[in-house]
Amino acid sequence: MSQRSLRDPIFRRSADSERVMAFAPGKIILFGEHAVVYGRPAIAVPVLKVRAEATIQPASSKAVLVSAPDIGRQYEIDDAPIDDPIAAIVRAVCEHLSEVPAGFQLQVHSTIPVARGLGSGAAVSVAVARAISGFFQKKLSSEDLSDLAFKVERLHHGTPSGIDNTVIAFERPVYFVRGERIQSFQVARPFLVAIADTGVAAPTKVAVGDVRRAWEAQRDRYEALFDQVGAIVGSARTAIETGRIDHVGKLMDENQALLRKIGVSSSEVDRLVEAARKAGALGAKLSGGGRGGNIIAIVEDANLERVEQALQAAGAVNVMATRVE
Protein backbone atom coordinates (compact mmCIF):
# COMPACT_ATOMS: atom_id res chain seq x y z
CA MET A 1 0.00 0.00 0.00
CA SER A 2 1.30 3.40 -0.81
CA GLN A 3 0.99 6.26 1.64
CA ARG A 4 -0.09 9.51 0.06
CA SER A 5 -0.53 13.00 1.35
CA LEU A 6 -3.52 13.60 3.59
CA ARG A 7 -4.64 16.31 1.18
CA ASP A 8 -4.86 13.80 -1.64
CA PRO A 9 -8.40 12.63 -2.30
CA ILE A 10 -7.21 9.04 -2.15
CA PHE A 11 -5.10 8.41 0.86
CA ARG A 12 -4.40 4.77 0.17
CA ARG A 13 -5.18 2.30 -2.57
CA SER A 14 -4.56 -1.40 -2.05
CA ALA A 15 -1.85 -3.08 -4.15
CA ASP A 16 -4.39 -4.68 -6.47
CA SER A 17 -6.07 -1.27 -6.84
CA GLU A 18 -9.36 -2.85 -5.83
CA ARG A 19 -9.79 -1.26 -2.46
CA VAL A 20 -9.77 2.47 -1.83
CA MET A 21 -9.41 3.95 1.61
CA ALA A 22 -9.87 7.64 2.36
CA PHE A 23 -9.72 9.77 5.47
CA ALA A 24 -10.97 13.06 6.84
CA PRO A 25 -9.91 14.78 10.06
CA GLY A 26 -11.92 16.14 12.96
CA LYS A 27 -12.06 19.86 13.73
CA ILE A 28 -12.38 22.36 16.53
CA ILE A 29 -13.90 25.81 16.42
CA LEU A 30 -11.42 28.19 18.08
CA PHE A 31 -13.77 31.18 18.04
CA GLY A 32 -17.24 32.19 16.96
CA GLU A 33 -19.59 29.18 17.14
CA HIS A 34 -23.31 29.97 17.14
CA ALA A 35 -22.76 33.61 16.14
CA VAL A 36 -21.45 32.17 12.83
CA VAL A 37 -24.95 30.86 12.09
CA TYR A 38 -26.07 34.52 12.16
CA GLY A 39 -23.48 35.80 9.69
CA ARG A 40 -20.61 36.62 12.05
CA PRO A 41 -17.12 35.21 11.35
CA ALA A 42 -15.64 32.16 13.07
CA ILE A 43 -12.23 30.49 13.16
CA ALA A 44 -11.80 26.72 12.95
CA VAL A 45 -8.85 24.37 12.55
CA PRO A 46 -8.58 20.69 11.57
CA VAL A 47 -7.61 18.11 14.19
CA LEU A 48 -5.59 15.37 12.52
CA LYS A 49 -5.33 13.13 15.59
CA VAL A 50 -8.87 11.91 15.15
CA ARG A 51 -10.39 10.94 11.85
CA ALA A 52 -13.10 9.24 9.89
CA GLU A 53 -12.15 6.48 7.46
CA ALA A 54 -14.10 5.13 4.52
CA THR A 55 -13.11 1.98 2.63
CA ILE A 56 -14.67 0.96 -0.65
CA GLN A 57 -14.31 -2.29 -2.50
CA PRO A 58 -16.10 -3.65 -5.51
CA ALA A 59 -19.08 -5.93 -4.88
CA SER A 60 -21.17 -7.85 -7.37
CA SER A 61 -24.44 -6.79 -5.78
CA LYS A 62 -26.45 -4.06 -7.49
CA ALA A 63 -27.00 -2.20 -4.23
CA VAL A 64 -24.42 -0.42 -2.12
CA LEU A 65 -23.87 -2.27 1.12
CA VAL A 66 -22.85 -0.01 4.02
CA SER A 67 -21.25 -1.32 7.16
CA ALA A 68 -20.53 0.87 10.14
CA PRO A 69 -19.19 -1.53 12.78
CA ASP A 70 -18.62 1.25 15.34
CA ILE A 71 -22.36 1.73 15.62
CA GLY A 72 -23.23 -1.90 14.88
CA ARG A 73 -25.02 -1.15 11.62
CA GLN A 74 -25.06 -2.89 8.26
CA TYR A 75 -27.58 -1.97 5.57
CA GLU A 76 -28.19 -1.38 1.90
CA ILE A 77 -28.53 2.26 0.95
CA ASP A 78 -31.72 1.55 -0.99
CA ASP A 79 -33.31 0.46 2.30
CA ALA A 80 -32.03 3.45 4.28
CA PRO A 81 -34.35 6.29 5.25
CA ILE A 82 -34.06 9.49 3.23
CA ASP A 83 -32.26 11.27 6.08
CA ASP A 84 -29.66 8.55 6.67
CA PRO A 85 -26.43 10.59 6.46
CA ILE A 86 -24.24 7.88 4.91
CA ALA A 87 -26.83 6.95 2.28
CA ALA A 88 -27.32 10.67 1.61
CA ILE A 89 -23.63 11.36 0.96
CA VAL A 90 -23.31 8.25 -1.23
CA ARG A 91 -26.27 9.35 -3.35
CA ALA A 92 -25.13 12.98 -3.53
CA VAL A 93 -21.56 12.09 -4.57
CA CYS A 94 -22.65 9.51 -7.16
CA GLU A 95 -25.08 12.00 -8.65
CA HIS A 96 -22.37 14.68 -8.76
CA LEU A 97 -19.98 12.26 -10.49
CA SER A 98 -22.71 10.95 -12.82
CA GLU A 99 -22.20 7.44 -11.49
CA VAL A 100 -24.79 4.89 -10.41
CA PRO A 101 -24.61 4.11 -6.69
CA ALA A 102 -24.15 0.37 -7.20
CA GLY A 103 -21.48 -2.31 -7.34
CA PHE A 104 -19.48 -1.45 -4.24
CA GLN A 105 -19.33 -2.08 -0.57
CA LEU A 106 -18.58 0.78 1.83
CA GLN A 107 -17.18 0.45 5.31
CA VAL A 108 -17.12 3.46 7.62
CA HIS A 109 -15.12 3.79 10.79
CA SER A 110 -14.41 6.85 12.90
CA THR A 111 -12.33 7.74 15.93
CA ILE A 112 -14.16 11.07 16.23
CA PRO A 113 -16.68 10.91 19.06
CA VAL A 114 -20.22 11.70 17.93
CA ALA A 115 -22.03 14.85 19.12
CA ARG A 116 -18.99 16.29 20.92
CA GLY A 117 -18.30 19.31 18.71
CA LEU A 118 -15.45 17.66 16.77
CA GLY A 119 -17.18 17.48 13.41
CA SER A 120 -17.77 13.73 13.21
CA GLY A 121 -20.71 14.02 10.78
CA ALA A 122 -18.87 16.23 8.31
CA ALA A 123 -15.73 14.09 8.57
CA VAL A 124 -17.65 10.91 7.72
CA SER A 125 -19.22 12.67 4.73
CA VAL A 126 -15.87 13.96 3.44
CA ALA A 127 -14.14 10.58 3.92
CA VAL A 128 -16.95 8.76 2.08
CA ALA A 129 -16.95 11.33 -0.72
CA ARG A 130 -13.17 11.00 -1.11
CA ALA A 131 -13.38 7.21 -1.19
CA ILE A 132 -16.11 7.25 -3.85
CA SER A 133 -14.18 9.73 -5.97
CA GLY A 134 -11.12 7.47 -5.70
CA PHE A 135 -13.14 4.38 -6.52
CA PHE A 136 -14.51 5.94 -9.71
CA GLN A 137 -11.18 7.68 -10.35
CA LYS A 138 -12.89 11.03 -10.76
CA LYS A 139 -11.48 14.03 -8.96
CA LEU A 140 -13.41 16.11 -6.44
CA SER A 141 -11.97 19.48 -5.43
CA SER A 142 -11.98 20.59 -1.79
CA GLU A 143 -14.81 22.92 -2.71
CA ASP A 144 -16.84 20.04 -4.20
CA LEU A 145 -16.20 17.95 -1.07
CA SER A 146 -17.29 20.80 1.16
CA ASP A 147 -20.47 21.47 -0.86
CA LEU A 148 -21.42 17.78 -0.89
CA ALA A 149 -20.83 17.40 2.85
CA PHE A 150 -22.85 20.58 3.45
CA LYS A 151 -25.90 18.95 1.88
CA VAL A 152 -25.68 16.22 4.50
CA GLU A 153 -24.94 18.68 7.33
CA ARG A 154 -28.40 20.04 6.67
CA LEU A 155 -29.82 16.66 7.69
CA HIS A 156 -27.86 16.78 10.95
CA HIS A 157 -28.97 20.20 12.04
CA GLY A 158 -31.31 22.15 9.79
CA THR A 159 -29.48 25.48 9.56
CA PRO A 160 -25.75 24.73 9.56
CA SER A 161 -23.40 27.61 8.87
CA GLY A 162 -21.15 25.37 6.77
CA ILE A 163 -18.05 25.82 8.94
CA ASP A 164 -17.61 22.10 9.76
CA ASN A 165 -17.67 20.84 6.17
CA THR A 166 -15.41 23.73 5.08
CA VAL A 167 -12.59 23.26 7.60
CA ILE A 168 -12.71 19.47 7.22
CA ALA A 169 -12.75 19.44 3.42
CA PHE A 170 -10.00 22.07 3.09
CA GLU A 171 -7.95 20.71 6.02
CA ARG A 172 -6.43 24.00 7.01
CA PRO A 173 -7.18 26.81 9.47
CA VAL A 174 -10.08 28.86 8.18
CA TYR A 175 -11.61 32.22 8.88
CA PHE A 176 -15.16 31.52 7.88
CA VAL A 177 -18.14 33.71 7.09
CA ARG A 178 -21.34 31.99 6.08
CA GLY A 179 -21.97 32.14 2.33
CA GLU A 180 -18.57 33.69 1.56
CA ARG A 181 -15.47 32.19 0.00
CA ILE A 182 -13.10 30.50 2.43
CA GLN A 183 -10.31 32.71 3.81
CA SER A 184 -7.06 31.21 5.01
CA PHE A 185 -4.77 33.04 7.38
CA GLN A 186 -1.21 32.80 8.64
CA VAL A 187 -0.42 31.35 12.05
CA ALA A 188 2.62 33.45 12.99
CA ARG A 189 3.54 31.34 16.01
CA PRO A 190 2.23 27.75 16.29
CA PHE A 191 0.37 27.09 19.54
CA LEU A 192 -0.93 24.12 21.47
CA VAL A 193 -4.58 23.52 22.18
CA ALA A 194 -5.70 20.94 24.75
CA ILE A 195 -9.03 19.34 23.90
CA ALA A 196 -11.01 17.78 26.74
CA ASP A 197 -14.22 15.81 26.46
CA THR A 198 -16.89 16.48 29.10
CA GLY A 199 -18.34 13.03 28.39
CA VAL A 200 -21.69 14.63 27.62
CA ALA A 201 -23.02 14.00 24.12
CA ALA A 202 -24.91 17.11 23.06
CA PRO A 203 -26.49 17.19 19.60
CA THR A 204 -25.71 20.46 17.82
CA LYS A 205 -29.24 20.54 16.45
CA VAL A 206 -30.71 20.97 19.94
CA ALA A 207 -28.36 23.80 21.00
CA VAL A 208 -28.76 25.57 17.63
CA GLY A 209 -32.56 25.26 17.91
CA ASP A 210 -32.57 26.66 21.46
CA VAL A 211 -30.41 29.61 20.41
CA ARG A 212 -32.78 30.24 17.49
CA ARG A 213 -35.78 30.38 19.83
CA ALA A 214 -33.95 32.67 22.27
CA TRP A 215 -32.91 34.94 19.36
CA GLU A 216 -36.52 35.07 18.15
CA ALA A 217 -37.70 36.03 21.64
CA GLN A 218 -34.95 38.62 22.33
CA ARG A 219 -33.58 39.67 18.98
CA ASP A 220 -31.77 42.85 20.06
CA ARG A 221 -30.03 41.16 22.96
CA TYR A 222 -28.85 38.22 20.87
CA GLU A 223 -27.78 40.37 17.92
CA ALA A 224 -25.68 42.44 20.35
CA LEU A 225 -24.12 39.26 21.79
CA PHE A 226 -23.34 37.97 18.29
CA ASP A 227 -21.76 41.32 17.40
CA GLN A 228 -19.50 41.05 20.44
CA VAL A 229 -18.51 37.52 19.43
CA GLY A 230 -17.80 38.76 15.89
CA ALA A 231 -15.50 41.48 17.23
CA ILE A 232 -13.61 38.89 19.32
CA VAL A 233 -13.14 36.69 16.25
CA GLY A 234 -11.65 39.62 14.32
CA SER A 235 -9.25 40.39 17.17
CA ALA A 236 -8.36 36.70 17.51
CA ARG A 237 -7.43 36.49 13.83
CA THR A 238 -5.10 39.48 14.21
CA ALA A 239 -3.59 38.02 17.40
CA ILE A 240 -2.96 34.67 15.66
CA GLU A 241 -1.49 36.41 12.62
CA THR A 242 0.87 38.41 14.80
CA GLY A 243 1.80 35.58 17.18
CA ARG A 244 0.31 37.13 20.34
CA ILE A 245 -0.73 33.85 21.89
CA ASP A 246 -1.37 35.29 25.38
CA HIS A 247 -3.91 37.56 23.80
CA VAL A 248 -5.51 34.66 21.90
CA GLY A 249 -6.03 32.98 25.28
CA LYS A 250 -7.59 36.09 26.80
CA LEU A 251 -9.96 36.36 23.84
CA MET A 252 -10.95 32.72 24.36
CA ASP A 253 -12.02 33.55 27.90
CA GLU A 254 -14.06 36.47 26.60
CA ASN A 255 -15.68 34.28 23.95
CA GLN A 256 -16.59 31.73 26.64
CA ALA A 257 -18.22 34.45 28.79
CA LEU A 258 -20.41 35.36 25.79
CA LEU A 259 -21.23 31.70 25.05
CA ARG A 260 -22.50 31.43 28.62
CA LYS A 261 -24.73 34.45 28.04
CA ILE A 262 -25.93 32.92 24.77
CA GLY A 263 -26.98 29.92 26.88
CA VAL A 264 -24.87 27.11 25.45
CA SER A 265 -22.46 26.37 28.28
CA SER A 266 -23.19 23.79 30.98
CA SER A 267 -21.92 22.88 34.43
CA GLU A 268 -19.65 20.18 32.92
CA VAL A 269 -18.19 22.67 30.43
CA ASP A 270 -17.71 25.33 33.13
CA ARG A 271 -15.95 22.85 35.40
CA LEU A 272 -13.40 21.84 32.75
CA VAL A 273 -12.85 25.42 31.59
CA GLU A 274 -12.19 26.48 35.19
CA ALA A 275 -9.83 23.55 35.80
CA ALA A 276 -7.80 24.39 32.70
CA ARG A 277 -7.50 28.05 33.69
CA LYS A 278 -6.50 27.21 37.26
CA ALA A 279 -3.79 24.89 35.94
CA GLY A 280 -2.33 27.77 33.97
CA ALA A 281 -4.00 27.60 30.55
CA LEU A 282 -3.87 30.93 28.73
CA GLY A 283 -7.59 30.73 28.03
CA ALA A 284 -10.39 28.17 27.60
CA LYS A 285 -13.85 27.80 26.14
CA LEU A 286 -16.34 25.31 24.82
CA SER A 287 -15.97 24.33 21.16
CA GLY A 288 -18.84 23.54 18.79
CA GLY A 289 -22.49 23.37 19.72
CA GLY A 290 -21.80 23.36 23.48
CA ARG A 291 -24.00 22.09 26.34
CA GLY A 292 -21.37 19.38 26.73
CA GLY A 293 -19.03 18.05 24.07
CA ASN A 294 -15.43 19.21 24.18
CA ILE A 295 -13.75 22.22 25.69
CA ILE A 296 -10.51 23.66 24.32
CA ALA A 297 -7.71 25.43 26.17
CA ILE A 298 -4.64 27.26 24.90
CA VAL A 299 -1.63 25.89 26.69
CA GLU A 300 2.08 26.63 26.69
CA ASP A 301 4.13 23.54 25.82
CA ALA A 302 5.81 23.39 29.23
CA ASN A 303 2.42 23.42 30.96
CA LEU A 304 0.59 20.84 28.85
CA GLU A 305 0.99 17.93 31.21
CA ARG A 306 -0.22 19.95 34.18
CA VAL A 307 -3.30 21.17 32.32
CA GLU A 308 -4.06 17.68 31.00
CA GLN A 309 -3.86 16.25 34.50
CA ALA A 310 -6.08 18.98 35.90
CA LEU A 311 -8.66 18.31 33.17
CA GLN A 312 -8.65 14.60 33.93
CA ALA A 313 -8.99 15.27 37.65
CA ALA A 314 -11.95 17.54 36.89
CA GLY A 315 -13.74 14.69 35.12
CA ALA A 316 -12.69 14.87 31.45
CA VAL A 317 -13.27 11.47 29.84
CA ASN A 318 -10.64 12.08 27.19
CA VAL A 319 -7.90 14.66 26.76
CA MET A 320 -5.72 15.23 23.72
CA ALA A 321 -3.70 18.07 22.29
CA THR A 322 -3.33 19.52 18.83
CA ARG A 323 -0.89 22.09 17.50
CA VAL A 324 -2.32 24.91 15.45
CA GLU A 325 0.18 25.84 12.73
Q: Which residues bind ligand PMV (CB under 6 A)?
A: 29, 33-34, 36-37, 117, 119, 160-161, 163-164, 204, 208, 288-289
Q: Which is nearer to ligand PMV, 107 or 255 (CB)?
A: 255
Q: Which is nearer to ligand PMV, 123 or 321 (CB)?
A: 123
Spatial separation of the C-alpha atoms in residues 25 and 12, rounded to whole Å: 15
Q: Which is nearer to ligand PMV, 96 or 178 (CB)?
A: 178
Q: Which is nearer to ligand PMV, 121 or 134 (CB)?
A: 121
Shortest distance, CB of residue 301 to ligand PMV, whole angstroms? 26
Shortest distance, CB of residue 218 to ligand PMV, whole angstroms? 18
Secondary structure (H, E, C), the chain: CCCCCCCCCCCEECCCCCCEEEEEEEEEEEECCCHHHHCCCEEEEEEEEEEEEEEEEECCCCCCEEEEHHHCEEEEHHHCCCCCHHHHHHHHHHHHCCCCCCCEEEEEEECCCCCCCCCHHHHHHHHHHHHHHHHCCCCCCHHHHHHHHHHHHHHHHCCCCCHHHHHHHHCCCEEECCCCCCECCCCCCCEEEEEEECCCCCCHHHHHHHHHHHHHHCHHHHHHHHHHHHHHHHHHHHHHHCCCHHHHHHHHHHHHHHHHHHCCCCHHHHHHHHHHHHCCCCEEEEECCCCCCEEEEEECHHHHHHHHHHHHHCCCCEEEEEEEC
Angle among Cα 84, 50, 260 to the nearest 5 degrees reads: 80
Shortest distance, CB of residue 27 to ligand PMV, whole angstroms? 7
Q: Which is nearer to ligand PMV, 126 or 208 (CB)?
A: 208
Shortest distance, CB of residue 5 to ligand PMV, whole angstroms? 25
Q: Which is nearer to ligand PMV, 41 or 134 (CB)?
A: 41
Q: Are strands 65-68 and 104-110 parallel, antiparallel or unpaired?
A: parallel
Residues taking part in catalysis = 164
Instruction: Assess contact for 317 and 197: CB atoms under 8 A.
Output: yes
